[in-house]
Amino acid sequence: MGTLDGRVAIVSGSGRGIGREIALRLAAEGASVVVNDLDAGPAGQTAADIGAAGGRAVAHVGSVTAEGFAERFVSAAVQSFGGLDIIVNNAGYTWDNVIQKMTDEQWDAIVGVHLTAPFRILRAALPYFKANPAGYHRKVVNISSTSGFYGNAGQANYGAAKAGVIGLTKTLAKEWGRYKVNVNAVAFGFILTRMTESTAADNATVEIEGRQIKVGLNPERAAMAATVIPFGRPGTAREAAGAVYLLCTPDADYINGQCIVVDGGRV
Protein backbone atom coordinates (compact mmCIF):
# COMPACT_ATOMS: atom_id res chain seq x y z
CA MET A 1 0.00 0.00 0.00
CA GLY A 2 1.44 3.35 -1.06
CA THR A 3 0.73 6.66 0.63
CA LEU A 4 -0.73 7.96 -2.65
CA ASP A 5 -2.78 4.94 -3.74
CA GLY A 6 -5.71 6.03 -5.88
CA ARG A 7 -4.40 9.55 -6.47
CA VAL A 8 -3.85 11.03 -9.94
CA ALA A 9 -0.98 13.44 -10.57
CA ILE A 10 0.19 15.68 -13.38
CA VAL A 11 3.86 16.70 -13.34
CA SER A 12 5.06 19.22 -15.91
CA GLY A 13 8.61 18.89 -17.22
CA SER A 14 8.90 15.35 -15.92
CA GLY A 15 10.83 13.69 -18.73
CA ARG A 16 14.19 14.60 -17.23
CA GLY A 17 15.93 15.74 -14.08
CA ILE A 18 13.99 16.74 -11.00
CA GLY A 19 10.64 16.34 -12.74
CA ARG A 20 11.42 12.77 -13.72
CA GLU A 21 12.37 11.92 -10.14
CA ILE A 22 9.15 13.51 -8.89
CA ALA A 23 7.08 11.44 -11.31
CA LEU A 24 8.92 8.24 -10.36
CA ARG A 25 8.47 8.90 -6.64
CA LEU A 26 4.78 9.71 -6.86
CA ALA A 27 4.19 6.62 -8.98
CA ALA A 28 6.18 4.43 -6.60
CA GLU A 29 3.83 5.55 -3.82
CA GLY A 30 0.76 4.55 -5.82
CA ALA A 31 -0.21 7.63 -7.83
CA SER A 32 -1.12 7.43 -11.50
CA VAL A 33 0.98 10.03 -13.30
CA VAL A 34 0.65 12.11 -16.45
CA VAL A 35 4.24 12.71 -17.53
CA ASN A 36 4.97 15.82 -19.55
CA ASP A 37 7.99 16.92 -21.56
CA LEU A 38 8.73 19.03 -24.61
CA ASP A 39 10.17 15.95 -26.30
CA ALA A 40 8.42 12.63 -26.86
CA GLY A 41 11.49 10.51 -26.11
CA PRO A 42 12.07 11.55 -22.47
CA ALA A 43 8.35 11.71 -21.67
CA GLY A 44 7.78 8.25 -23.11
CA GLN A 45 10.81 6.82 -21.34
CA THR A 46 9.72 8.08 -17.92
CA ALA A 47 6.21 6.75 -18.47
CA ALA A 48 7.63 3.41 -19.63
CA ASP A 49 9.91 3.19 -16.60
CA ILE A 50 6.97 3.78 -14.30
CA GLY A 51 5.03 1.04 -16.08
CA ALA A 52 7.94 -1.36 -15.88
CA ALA A 53 8.07 -0.82 -12.11
CA GLY A 54 4.39 -1.70 -11.79
CA GLY A 55 2.97 1.82 -11.80
CA ARG A 56 0.56 3.65 -14.08
CA ALA A 57 1.58 6.53 -16.32
CA VAL A 58 0.91 8.15 -19.67
CA ALA A 59 3.04 10.62 -21.61
CA HIS A 60 1.66 14.01 -22.57
CA VAL A 61 4.07 15.79 -24.91
CA GLY A 62 4.04 19.53 -25.39
CA SER A 63 5.18 22.95 -24.24
CA VAL A 64 3.54 24.29 -21.09
CA THR A 65 3.54 27.73 -22.72
CA ALA A 66 1.54 26.61 -25.77
CA GLU A 67 -1.96 27.95 -26.27
CA GLY A 68 -4.49 25.51 -24.80
CA PHE A 69 -1.85 23.30 -23.20
CA ALA A 70 -3.20 23.76 -19.67
CA GLU A 71 -6.67 22.52 -20.55
CA ARG A 72 -5.26 19.56 -22.47
CA PHE A 73 -2.94 18.65 -19.59
CA VAL A 74 -5.76 18.60 -17.05
CA SER A 75 -7.99 16.67 -19.46
CA ALA A 76 -5.26 14.06 -19.97
CA ALA A 77 -5.45 13.16 -16.29
CA VAL A 78 -9.22 12.99 -16.19
CA GLN A 79 -9.53 11.03 -19.42
CA SER A 80 -6.66 8.63 -18.71
CA PHE A 81 -7.18 7.97 -15.01
CA GLY A 82 -10.59 9.37 -14.10
CA GLY A 83 -9.53 12.28 -11.95
CA LEU A 84 -6.95 14.80 -10.77
CA ASP A 85 -5.56 15.09 -7.25
CA ILE A 86 -1.96 16.35 -7.43
CA ILE A 87 -0.47 19.11 -9.57
CA VAL A 88 3.28 19.69 -9.67
CA ASN A 89 4.32 22.74 -11.69
CA ASN A 90 7.94 21.85 -12.39
CA ALA A 91 8.71 22.67 -16.02
CA GLY A 92 11.31 25.32 -16.64
CA TYR A 93 14.83 26.34 -17.56
CA THR A 94 17.15 29.32 -17.16
CA TRP A 95 18.23 31.82 -19.80
CA ASP A 96 20.56 34.20 -18.00
CA ASN A 97 21.93 37.64 -18.70
CA VAL A 98 22.60 40.84 -16.80
CA ILE A 99 19.67 43.21 -17.12
CA GLN A 100 21.30 45.65 -19.56
CA LYS A 101 21.88 42.78 -21.99
CA MET A 102 18.65 40.88 -21.36
CA THR A 103 16.24 40.96 -24.28
CA ASP A 104 12.47 41.08 -24.14
CA GLU A 105 12.48 37.59 -25.61
CA GLN A 106 14.58 36.29 -22.71
CA TRP A 107 12.34 37.97 -20.17
CA ASP A 108 9.09 36.81 -21.74
CA ALA A 109 10.28 33.24 -22.29
CA ILE A 110 11.37 32.70 -18.69
CA VAL A 111 8.42 34.45 -17.07
CA GLY A 112 6.14 32.55 -19.43
CA VAL A 113 7.40 29.08 -18.57
CA HIS A 114 7.89 29.61 -14.83
CA LEU A 115 4.95 31.81 -13.89
CA THR A 116 2.35 32.18 -16.63
CA ALA A 117 2.24 28.45 -17.42
CA PRO A 118 1.61 27.38 -13.79
CA PHE A 119 -1.08 30.07 -13.51
CA ARG A 120 -2.83 28.69 -16.59
CA ILE A 121 -2.59 25.07 -15.43
CA LEU A 122 -4.03 25.91 -12.02
CA ARG A 123 -6.78 28.01 -13.57
CA ALA A 124 -7.68 25.10 -15.84
CA ALA A 125 -7.79 22.67 -12.90
CA LEU A 126 -10.15 24.65 -10.68
CA PRO A 127 -13.41 23.85 -12.53
CA TYR A 128 -12.66 20.15 -12.08
CA PHE A 129 -11.88 20.58 -8.37
CA LYS A 130 -15.08 22.56 -7.79
CA ALA A 131 -17.28 20.13 -9.71
CA ASN A 132 -15.72 17.01 -8.18
CA PRO A 133 -15.13 17.50 -4.45
CA ALA A 134 -13.00 14.84 -2.79
CA GLY A 135 -13.15 13.38 0.69
CA TYR A 136 -9.44 14.03 1.07
CA HIS A 137 -7.04 16.91 0.50
CA ARG A 138 -5.77 17.51 -3.00
CA LYS A 139 -2.28 18.92 -3.41
CA VAL A 140 -0.52 21.53 -5.51
CA VAL A 141 3.25 21.93 -5.34
CA ASN A 142 4.78 24.80 -7.30
CA ILE A 143 8.52 24.84 -7.92
CA SER A 144 10.29 28.05 -6.94
CA SER A 145 13.97 28.78 -6.35
CA THR A 146 16.27 30.48 -3.87
CA SER A 147 16.75 33.01 -6.70
CA GLY A 148 13.14 34.01 -6.06
CA PHE A 149 13.87 34.53 -2.36
CA TYR A 150 17.25 36.23 -2.45
CA GLY A 151 17.95 37.10 -6.08
CA ASN A 152 20.90 35.94 -8.16
CA ALA A 153 23.09 38.03 -10.45
CA GLY A 154 22.22 37.50 -14.10
CA GLN A 155 18.75 36.13 -13.33
CA ALA A 156 16.40 39.10 -13.26
CA ASN A 157 13.91 37.14 -15.37
CA TYR A 158 14.21 33.87 -13.45
CA GLY A 159 14.32 35.49 -10.01
CA ALA A 160 11.26 37.61 -10.74
CA ALA A 161 9.32 34.63 -12.08
CA LYS A 162 10.24 32.43 -9.12
CA ALA A 163 9.30 35.18 -6.67
CA GLY A 164 6.00 35.39 -8.52
CA VAL A 165 5.49 31.67 -8.01
CA ILE A 166 5.65 32.23 -4.25
CA GLY A 167 3.04 34.99 -4.48
CA LEU A 168 0.81 32.79 -6.64
CA THR A 169 1.18 29.94 -4.15
CA LYS A 170 0.26 32.03 -1.11
CA THR A 171 -2.71 33.59 -2.87
CA LEU A 172 -4.20 30.31 -4.08
CA ALA A 173 -3.67 28.74 -0.65
CA LYS A 174 -6.17 31.31 0.63
CA GLU A 175 -8.56 30.95 -2.30
CA TRP A 176 -8.55 27.14 -2.54
CA GLY A 177 -8.65 26.08 1.10
CA ARG A 178 -12.45 25.95 0.82
CA TYR A 179 -12.04 23.22 -1.80
CA LYS A 180 -9.71 21.14 0.41
CA VAL A 181 -6.75 21.86 -1.86
CA ASN A 182 -3.35 22.52 -0.26
CA VAL A 183 -1.16 24.88 -2.28
CA ASN A 184 2.53 24.95 -1.35
CA ALA A 185 5.89 25.51 -3.01
CA VAL A 186 9.47 24.36 -2.73
CA ALA A 187 12.40 26.65 -3.47
CA PHE A 188 15.43 24.72 -4.66
CA GLY A 189 19.00 25.84 -4.22
CA PHE A 190 21.92 24.15 -5.98
CA ILE A 191 20.54 20.87 -7.34
CA LEU A 192 22.45 18.79 -9.89
CA THR A 193 20.63 18.69 -13.23
CA ARG A 194 21.66 19.02 -16.86
CA MET A 195 21.27 22.79 -16.43
CA THR A 196 23.71 22.99 -13.51
CA GLU A 197 26.19 20.15 -13.95
CA SER A 198 29.87 21.08 -13.94
CA THR A 199 31.37 21.47 -17.40
CA ALA A 200 34.60 22.97 -18.68
CA ALA A 201 32.98 23.78 -22.02
CA ASP A 202 32.00 27.43 -22.29
CA ASN A 203 29.67 26.72 -25.19
CA ALA A 204 27.65 23.78 -23.80
CA THR A 205 24.03 24.24 -24.84
CA VAL A 206 20.73 22.42 -25.09
CA GLU A 207 17.95 23.16 -27.56
CA ILE A 208 14.71 24.32 -25.96
CA GLU A 209 11.86 25.31 -28.25
CA GLY A 210 14.25 26.10 -31.07
CA ARG A 211 16.61 28.15 -28.93
CA GLN A 212 20.15 27.18 -28.00
CA ILE A 213 20.30 27.71 -24.24
CA LYS A 214 23.64 27.73 -22.43
CA VAL A 215 23.88 25.13 -19.67
CA GLY A 216 26.37 23.97 -17.07
CA LEU A 217 28.54 25.66 -14.49
CA ASN A 218 32.24 26.34 -14.70
CA PRO A 219 33.93 23.68 -12.50
CA GLU A 220 35.55 26.34 -10.30
CA ARG A 221 32.25 28.13 -9.80
CA ALA A 222 30.48 24.85 -9.06
CA ALA A 223 33.12 23.87 -6.50
CA MET A 224 32.90 27.29 -4.85
CA ALA A 225 29.10 27.07 -4.65
CA ALA A 226 29.37 23.68 -2.95
CA THR A 227 31.69 25.01 -0.25
CA VAL A 228 28.96 27.23 1.23
CA ILE A 229 26.53 24.31 1.58
CA PRO A 230 26.89 22.70 5.03
CA PHE A 231 26.86 19.23 3.46
CA GLY A 232 29.68 20.27 1.11
CA ARG A 233 27.81 19.19 -2.01
CA PRO A 234 24.82 20.12 -4.15
CA GLY A 235 21.58 18.22 -3.84
CA THR A 236 20.51 15.40 -6.13
CA ALA A 237 17.37 15.35 -8.24
CA ARG A 238 16.08 12.48 -6.12
CA GLU A 239 16.56 14.50 -2.93
CA ALA A 240 14.74 17.42 -4.51
CA ALA A 241 11.86 15.14 -5.48
CA GLY A 242 11.59 13.93 -1.91
CA ALA A 243 10.66 17.40 -0.71
CA VAL A 244 7.89 17.63 -3.30
CA TYR A 245 6.62 14.17 -2.39
CA LEU A 246 6.36 15.12 1.29
CA LEU A 247 3.98 17.97 0.43
CA CYS A 248 1.82 15.58 -1.61
CA THR A 249 1.20 13.16 1.26
CA PRO A 250 -1.70 13.11 3.73
CA ASP A 251 0.82 14.01 6.45
CA ALA A 252 0.93 17.48 4.87
CA ASP A 253 -2.83 18.04 5.04
CA TYR A 254 -2.49 21.05 7.36
CA ILE A 255 0.47 22.63 5.59
CA ASN A 256 -0.82 25.36 3.31
CA GLY A 257 0.59 28.48 1.69
CA GLN A 258 4.18 27.63 2.54
CA CYS A 259 7.39 27.76 0.52
CA ILE A 260 9.98 25.33 1.83
CA VAL A 261 13.58 26.14 0.98
CA VAL A 262 15.46 23.02 -0.10
CA ASP A 263 19.11 24.06 -0.32
CA GLY A 264 20.99 21.89 2.21
CA GLY A 265 21.15 24.80 4.65
CA ARG A 266 23.14 27.07 2.36
CA VAL A 267 21.15 30.21 3.15
**∠ CA 133-33-194, rounded to 5°:** 130
Residues 6+ apart with CB under 8 A from 239: 191, 262
Find out whether 21 and 50 touch, Cβ atoms under 8 Å.
Answer: no
158 among known catalytic residues: yes
Amino acid at 266: R
Residues 6+ apart with CB under 8 A from 152: 146, 158, 159
Find out whether 148 and 155 touch, Cβ atoms under 8 Å.
Answer: no
- Catalytic one of 93, 128, 136, 158: 158
Total residues found in the chain within this entry: 267
From CA 164, how far away is CA 80, in angstroms rounded? 31
Amino acid at 160: A
Would you please indicate which residues are annotated as catalytic (active-site) residues?
158
